[in-house]
Amino acid sequence: MEDTNSTKKLTKFREKFMCPAPWSHIYYQINSPSPCHLIRNAHLNMTPSEYLKSDWLKNLKQELLDGKVPSACSNCKRKEDLGLKSTRGAFWNYYNMGPEPYYENQWFYNRLDIDTPTRPKRIELRFSNLCNMKCRMCDETSSSEWAKEKLKHNLPAHEHLNPGDSFNTREHTLLKITEDKIAGLKDPELLQNLNKVCFTGGEPFLIKEYYDYLDFLLENNMQSKVRIETFTNCSVYNPLFVERLSKFKSVELVMSIDGVGPTAEYIRHGVSWDTVSANVRKFNALGEPFKPQITVAISVYTLLDVANLAKFLMELSDQNENISIKCYSVLAHGMNFRDAPLHLRDRLLTQLDQAIDILTANSWKVFKNELENIRTSLAGLPKPYQPEEFFRVTQELDTIRGESFEKTFGLPLLES
């Protein structure tokens, strides 16, 4: 495809590693700001105004403008190289479905330079790591229960953390954003272009500071301007939180579900599947302004039982045809599908085929497409990438938590 002058070839998504997030988005992980949730700047401890003036942000913008792939953006590049969805793609509204978009057709084409100020349209907040679960693909920066477990068993800190970082769970397993950062996130100048606020955790329904921030938005009459997006592990249903959310013009209620039954309880330690499934159906039945969504962190464990997850999803779309989905492939911790040992390959491919056949509702198109891409990649993979890492993390957590891979999935962990 060419432009209207038929002289210049347009630039496809994969041909231009450009992301508008540094100019249009702020993510706060406790006290550390960045452009998106994949970039964890544990070494930065800045207020919003300090961050927006920082050399770190300026340098990131320059690298993107120069056509480079910044090291901070490596996770998106890795996923794109595997033919999978990426967060950068989400900023282009591209989910590996339909025609690949062109750079010249994006809202940010020729509108951003090194001096263009960051005017966030969306802010994503992680005010605390307070959580009642310790999901296998998570870590101490997002779960106080994970922090306690690492401290109790003297497990190494997350690979990106250093002793002086703001996520120092060796001193405090419960982490909270400081008041100066919260005050900065209430700055009228920062909020002038804002149209969405996203709450993540930890578990947002347990974090008091989110109740207070919702009250701040309501007191400043921002409910007609700002849409809310909140993630939840569905272990808690608090009417006080739901009542606050109901006052906004639109609420994306994103439910984190990576498996059902024993698989769910294995992946998300601390969960009661009966409680979670009941709350999911309760959330799914909420009317306007709530827009229910599911998000799936696709790990090897998810894929080993993904057909049962697909059946549950179809039940949800039968209950509410407007439900939708987000999903992403887990890359770290030896839990990516490329790390699965060869003796699990047949089970994975069979489950993928069954799930793809089951997911017939429009609500699950994005998830189905991602599973199809995973299947293609997995079938063409001559040998596992890091099976020893998969064995290590699975055995380690099974031992600590008194769980069993074999009992959960009916398969041997080690090849006989």
Which residue is it, tokens 């992680």?
126
Sign of CA dihedral 19, 21, 27, 31: positive
Q: Copy the structure tokens of residue 44.
A: 């930065």
Note the pLDDT of residue 167: 75
Question: Which of 55-64, 147-156, 197-206 bottoms out in mean pLDDT, i.e. has the lowest?
Answer: 147-156
Of 51-55, 168-172, 340-344, 381-385, where does mean pLDDT reach its minimum?
Answer: 168-172
Look at residue 54 and tell me whether its pLDDT is greater than 60.
yes
Of 355, 352, 254, nearest to 295 (Cα)? 254
Given a cut of 60, whether residue 44 has pLDDT beyond it is yes
Tokens of 214: 């919702």
Give the model confidence (pLDDT) of 56-109 as tens digits: 999 999 999 999 999 999 999 999 998 999 999 999 999 999 999 999 999 999
Work out the number of other CB atoms within 10 angstroms of the CB of residue 387. 19
Query: Model-level pTM?
Result: 0.93
d(C-alpha 252, C-alpha 263), whole Å: 26
Instruction: Print burial letters for 358-384: b (CB count within 10 Å at least 16), e (below 16).
Output: bbeeebbebbbbbbbbbbeebeeeeeb
For residue 236, CA distances in Å to 146, 255, 274, 282, 285 come to 18, 11, 12, 11, 16
| 5 has pLDDT over 90 | no
- Please report the pLDDT score of residue 148 as a whole number: 95
Query: What are the pLDDT digits (tens) for 316-334?
Result: 999 999 999 999 999 877 9
Which whole number is the average pLDDT over 116-143? 96
Strands (E), 30-83: 32-34
**Phi, psi dihedral angles at 188 (to 5 degrees):** -55, -35
Domains of the chain from N-terminus onward: 13-120 (no CATH), 124-403 (3.20.20)
Residue 157 confidence class, pLDDT cut points 50, 70, 90? confident
pLDDT for 363-379, tens place per residue?
Answer: 999 999 999 999 999 99
Residue located via tokens 């049962």: 308
